[in-house]
A and B are shown apart, each in its own frame.
Chain A
Amino acid sequence: MILQNFRKALLGSAAVLLLCSSGAGAQEHSYAPSDIENGRGLYQANCLGCHGNNGDSVEGANLASGRFRRASSDEDLMAIIRNGIPETLMIPRPQLSYGDLRSLVAFLRTMQSGGVQTAQDEAEVTIGDAVRGAELFFGSADCSSCHGVNGGGTRLHPDLAGIGSQRSAFVLQQSILDPRAVVREGQRFYQVTAKDGTTVAGKLLNQDTHSVQLMNEQEKLVSFRKEDLESHGVIPTPMPAYLDVLSATDVADLVAYLLSLTTEQAP
């Protein structure tokens, strides 16, 4: 409810709307909401079965990452989708029109966790001043104590280089205001309590029936046998909610800064 009100307040500010800002990097264009929406349908019909909801079900091909091993340009991507990859499940799809391929690429380039937001959601996001957003990020909002941008931050929290190519304005805004709303696989935190009562928390890396693997708060890789534990399980993300902390303007500026992070440089 509070979020709703906040979004209404943002709407009142009559900001310029952009789905994704254009700029250097993997993404070559802004994509029309109708193309993205059409692409979502085509993705569901052609791709989701193997690549999964989040585009990361095929090892070595995380479609949501914005980086593609075999393609850099949109044309490359379209050629792969149309021609397939021999000796894999990726068959040729000659029936897809140029428009279909363009829509699919638009969706891939803007793929979100869960893919739940709509064009309407996007229309309600205000995008502010990226320069001021950067000042906040590294300054008073203190995002950079956890998140790096091409380095910096910690290993426990995602480096945000390139995030502007991978997330929509709506998802970025939601991640700031209400980070518990959507926690992606790979960003889940986990806590184990040993039988002597000592606890260890960290990022969940992997688990099976008998063990669990974490990066602990000291950024070390640790593994526990479940039989040695009193209790264990997922805990809420340590990222604070900034709904009542930052002003609407601050949030809009941060969103603008994050959207500008479209260039992903090699580390």
Chain B
Amino acid sequence: MKLTHTLALAALLPFAVSLATAQEVPPERLLNAASEPGSWLLHHGGYDGQRHSDLTQITPENVGQLDLQWIWQVRSAAGAAQKFEATPLLVDGVLYTVSPPNDVVALDPKTGRVFWTYPYTPSPDARVCCGRVNRGLAIHGTTLFMGAIDGHLLAIDALSGQLKWDVTVADATLGYSLTVAPLVIDDKVIVGPAGGEYGIRGFLVAYNVETGEEEWRFNLVPGPGEAGFESWADPAQEAYKTGGGSIWTTGTYDPELNLMYWGVGNPGPDWNGDSRPGDNLYTESVVALNPDTGELAWHYQYTPHDEMDYDSTQVQVLADIEFEGAQRKVLMTANRNGVFYVIDRTNGEFLLAKPFVAVNWVDGWDEKGRPNQVLAPSEEGTFIMPNNQGATNWYPPSFSPVTGLFYVPSWLDTYSVYTKRPVTYTAGQQYVGAFPTMAMPALGVRPVNQRIPEDGFGAIQAIDPKTGDIVWRHEMTDVTDSGVLSTASNLVFGGGREGFFYALDARTGQELWRENLGGQVASGPISYEIEGKQYIAVNAGGAMFVFALPE
């Protein structure tokens, strides 16, 4: 009997090892995520936010043969308010994702079968402007972290699906919510709340991964005595209390500089800035913080005193590139305000700003990078491009070190009429002004498109960060809420509201393969490898679709 048992164990052992069964992600693995391209350990793939996969089995030559491997459907109906936006994690044979609004699921990445689910019912107090959504998870060791739309941060055991701890990050009844995928650095898990339409006062906060104890907090809207408070110049010194500055996409991190980079949302109220004179730091900015202490190293403000709701939360993508003849450590972002930026991430030096869609609110920048803003909302209404949803939004871009190009899902030729109306603050209620009118529906939930091109349209655009020039553009009839993924074999995967998911040639934008997934693609695709086979996963409608080459 004993002998049999030993034999059985011995027989199992090689199999177990071949699965890379650590199923545990210490901080060193996150730092070296690039060394294991078969995994997807961080929300953006790596700390640099590039969403670029080094897997090369699927190529421009064979991508046309991609085959559906499995589909996993969420339990809840995916309606207007509940898009399936989460980017999954792939850790040692387990795929983790979040079914909207806040159910955590562990799946077999080869078959789509469920290992476990952790159902979480958010408090009915949860109030979100733009969807009961979740963008994904973070992992440390064997613990997953999820922010919930009711302002809670949960730590869940990655193997059993059991709750480890649950902290209240912010008060849901005041409009604070968590939609962002947390960022784990060393022994801290870092998040910030959404709620820029509810008069929140934004912050970033770090918790100890083991205990859930708060380690530091950085106010994204500084108060009395804090640097930057002078940019809130109302005589009563009240505006900062409802000053906005939300967080809803995950920051990036440079371990060498030990700085992390977060894009910060709009000031409150959104569309009438009369009550908040000044630049309104650190709204509409990128902040570079030390993750150990939460100390600010530098900031750059994309849209000072914003009145167009151009949240600057888009991913701050990190790369080392040659710029004007010198090798530079840069940060690149395609901003909702319609402008592509390149910034020196060591010190915040402004290097380049160039519109990537039709833009009329700015007509230039001074040498420090301060924009010359020429339009603002008015009582009679002001026609401003891009529209209120912006040139791009929460859905992530990618950067390919192979082509050196930045790929961004874009809304082109959109506009809004911004009307300034009086606004008063009521706790827990929207604190915005008048919603700008726009031809393009914000949420895109109607299954038909009867618009004309003059109303705007979507595209994936490839930008050369050295110049800001558009190198190619893949146009769609409708706009897109799909992120993109680039691969080392020169593919770019993306999609849009029409439900098409496709592969483009990263060098030319030529479409090489597409599939109609029957629901809008509203997530960032990922790639992973299991037992030598490369997979591509993406959410569309209320389901996750996974593709690979035929055997």
Complex Cα distance, B197 from A41, in Å, reads 17
- Which residue on B lies nearest to A210, using beta carbons? B500
Tell me, rounded to whole Å, the shortest Cβ–Cβ distance linking B520 to chain A. Answer: 11
Q: Does A244 belong to the interface (CB within 8 Å)?
A: no
Which B residues between 414 and 442 are near A, CB-CB below 8 angstroms?
Answer: 419, 421, 423, 426, 429-430, 432-435, 437-439, 441-442
- Asked if A57 meets B430 with Cβ closer than 8 Å, knowing A49-B197, A209-B475, the reply is no
B257 in contact (CB, < 8 A): no
User: Once the chains bind, are B446 and A45 in contact (CB under 8 Å)?
Assistant: no
Complex Cα distance, B476 from A209, in Å, reads 5
B423 pairs with A45, CB closer than 8 A: yes
Which of A44, A46, A56 contacts B419, CB < 8 Å? A44
A57 contact from B124, B445, B452, Cβ within 8 A: B445
Bound: A185/B429 CA distance, A: 32
Per the bound structure, the CA–CA distance linking A210 and B475 in Å amounts to: 11
The reply to whether A44 and B80 form a contact with Cβ atoms under 8 Å apart is no
Cross-chain contact of A93 among B429, B442, B500 (Cβ < 8 A): B429
In the docked arrangement, what's the CA distance between A87 and B197, Å?
Answer: 18
Stretch at the interface among B128-136, B205-213, B345-353: B128-136
Given contacts A50-B442, A88-B81, A89-B81, contact A207 B450 (CB under 8 A): yes
Indicate if the CB atoms of B448 and A205 lie closer than 8 Å: yes
Q: Are A206 and B79 in touch, CB under 8 angstroms?
A: no
Taken together as a complex, chains A and B put the C-alpha atoms of A259 and B221 apart, in Å, by 52
Q: Mark A39-51, 1 if CB is under 8 A from B, else 0.
A: 0010011111110
Question: In the complex, A206 Cα to B81 Cα: how many Å?
Answer: 22
Indicate which residue in A46, A86, A188 contacts B430 across the interface (CB closer than 8 Å): A46
* In the complex, residue of chain A having the shortest beta-carbon distance to the beta carbon of B440: A52
Cβ of A208 < 8 Å from any Cβ of B? yes
Contact A204 B450 (CB under 8 A): yes
Chain A residue numbers with a CB within 8 Å of B426 are: 95
**Interface presence of B447 (CB below 8 A):** yes
Residues of A within 8 A of B433 (CB): 45
Which of A49, A207, A234 sits near B449, CB closer than 8 Å?
Answer: A207
Q: Which residues of B contact A48 (CB under 8 A)?
A: 434-435, 437
Q: Is the CB of A86 within 8 A of B477?
A: no
A99 contacts which chain B residues (CB < 8 A)? none
Whether the pair B421, A45 counts as a contact (CB closer than 8 A) is yes
Chain A 16-55: CB-based contact to B (< 8 A → 1; otherwise 0): 0000000000000000000000000100111111101100
A residues less than 8 Å from B475 (CB atoms): 209
Contacting A at CB under 8 A, from B440-487, are 441-443, 445-452, 475-478
Give A82 Cβ to nearest chain B Cβ, in Å: 12
B127 at the interface (CB under 8 A from A): yes
Rounded to whole angstroms, the CA-CA distance of A95 and B441 in the bound complex is 27
A59 at the interface (CB under 8 A from B): yes
Q: A45-B434, A48-B437 are in contact. Are A57 and B442 (CB under 8 A)?
A: yes
Cα separation A56 to B442 with both chains bound (whole Å): 12
CA distance A49 to B441 in the complex (A): 9
Using Cβ atoms and an 8 Å threshold, which residues of chain A touch B452? 188, 234
Within 8 A of B (CB), among A184-230: 185-186, 188, 204-210
Q: Is B307 an interface residue (CB 8 A)?
A: no
Task: For residue B338, give the distance in angstroms from its CB to the closest CB of chain A.
Answer: 20
Cross-interface CB contact of A208 among B438, B446, B449, cutoff 8 Å: B449
Tell me if A206 and B449 are in contact (CB < 8 A): yes
Q: Which chain B residue has the least Cβ–Cβ distance from A213?
A: B448
- A50 contact from B438, B443, B448, Cβ within 8 A: B443
A91 at interface (Cβ–Cβ under 8 A)?
yes
Question: In the complex, what residues of A have CB within 8 A of residue B446's CB?
Answer: 56-57, 59
Which B residues touch A91, using CB under 8 A? 127, 429
Alpha-carbon gap, A95 to B421, bound state (A): 17
Q: Tell me the complex Cα distance, A47–B197, Å.
A: 13
Q: Residues of A contacting B124 with CB < 8 Å? A: 86-87
CB distance from B510 to the nearest CB of A (A): 14
Please tell me if A1 contacts chain B, counting CB pairs below 8 Å.
no
B375-406 interface bits toward A, Cβ cutoff 8 Å, 1 = contact, 0 = none: 00000000000000000000000000000000
Would A59 and B421 be within 8 Å (CB), given that A93-B429, A95-B429 are in contact? no
**B529 — which chain A residues lie within 8 A by C-beta?**
none
Question: Interface of chain B, helix or strand or loop or mixed?
Answer: loop
Q: Does A58 contact B (CB under 8 A)?
A: yes
Most chain B beta-carbon neighbours within 10 Å: one of A41, A59, A89: A89
Interface contacts (Cβ under 8 Å), in number, total 94
Q: Give the residues in chain B near A50, CB-CB below 8 Å.
A: 80, 442-443
User: Are B477 and A207 in contact (CB-based, < 8 A)?
Assistant: yes
- In the complex, the answer to whether B129 meets A49 with C-beta atoms within 8 Å is yes
**Interface set, chain B 166-186, CB cutoff 8 A to A:** none
Residues A206 and B477 in contact in the complex (CB < 8 Å), given A44-B421, A48-B435, A57-B443? no
Check B435 against A206 for contact (C-beta < 8 Å).
no
Q: Does chain A have a CB within 8 A of B103?
A: no
**Which of chain B's residues have a CB closer than 8 A to the CB of A89?**
80-81, 128-132
Cα distance A47–B429 in the bound complex, in angstroms: 12
Cβ contact within 8 Å between B445 and A59: yes
* Of B124, B437, B445, most A-chain CB atoms within 10 Å: B437
Q: CB distance A49 to B79 under 8 Å?
A: no
Residue among A56, A188, A208 with max Cβ neighbours from chain B (10 Å): A208
The answer to whether B48 has its CB under 8 Å from any CB of chain A is: no
Q: Are B432 and A45 in touch, CB under 8 angstroms?
A: yes
B498 at the interface (CB under 8 A from A): yes
Residues of A within 8 A of B128 (CB): 89
Q: Which residues of B contact A186 (CB under 8 A)?
A: 450
Alpha-carbon separation in the docked complex, A91 to B441 (Å): 20
Q: Mark B192-209, 1 if CB is under 8 A from A, else 0.
A: 000001000000000000
- A108–B478 alpha-carbon span in the complex (Å): 28
Distance (whole angstroms) from the CB of A232 to the closest CB of chain B? 11
A45-B433, A45-B434, A234-B452 known; A52 and B442 CB under 8 Å? yes
Q: What's the Cα separation between A87 and B432 when bound, in Å?
A: 22
A49 touches B448 (CB 8 A): no
Question: When chains A and B are docked, how far (Å) is the Cα of A186 from the Cα of B499?
Answer: 21
Point out the residues of chain B lying under 8 angstroms from A188, CB to CB. Answer: 450, 452
Chain B residues whose C-beta falls within 8 Å of the C-beta of A47 in the assembled complex: 435
Q: Identify which of A53, A87, A88 contacts B438 (C-beta below 8 A).
A: A53
A111 to chain B, nearest CB (A): 13
Chain A 73-112 residues near chain B, CB threshold 8 A: 86-89, 91, 93, 95
**Which residues of the other chain, A, contact B127 by a CB distance below 8 angstroms?**
91
- Give A24 to B170 CA distance when docked, in angstroms: 49
Q: Which positions in A face B, CB cutoff 8 Å?
A: 41, 44-50, 52-53, 56-59, 86-89, 91, 93, 95, 185-186, 188, 204-210, 234
Q: List 9 A-B contacts (CB under 8 A).
A: A41-B421, A45-B423, A48-B434, A49-B197, A49-B442, A57-B445, A59-B447, A87-B132, A205-B450
- The 6 A-B residue pairs with the shortest CB-CB distance, nearest first, are A48-B435, A44-B434, A208-B498, A95-B426, A206-B448, A185-B450
6 new A-B pairs (CB below 8 Å) besides A41-B421, A95-B429?
Answer: A45-B421, A57-B446, A206-B447, A206-B448, A207-B450, A234-B452
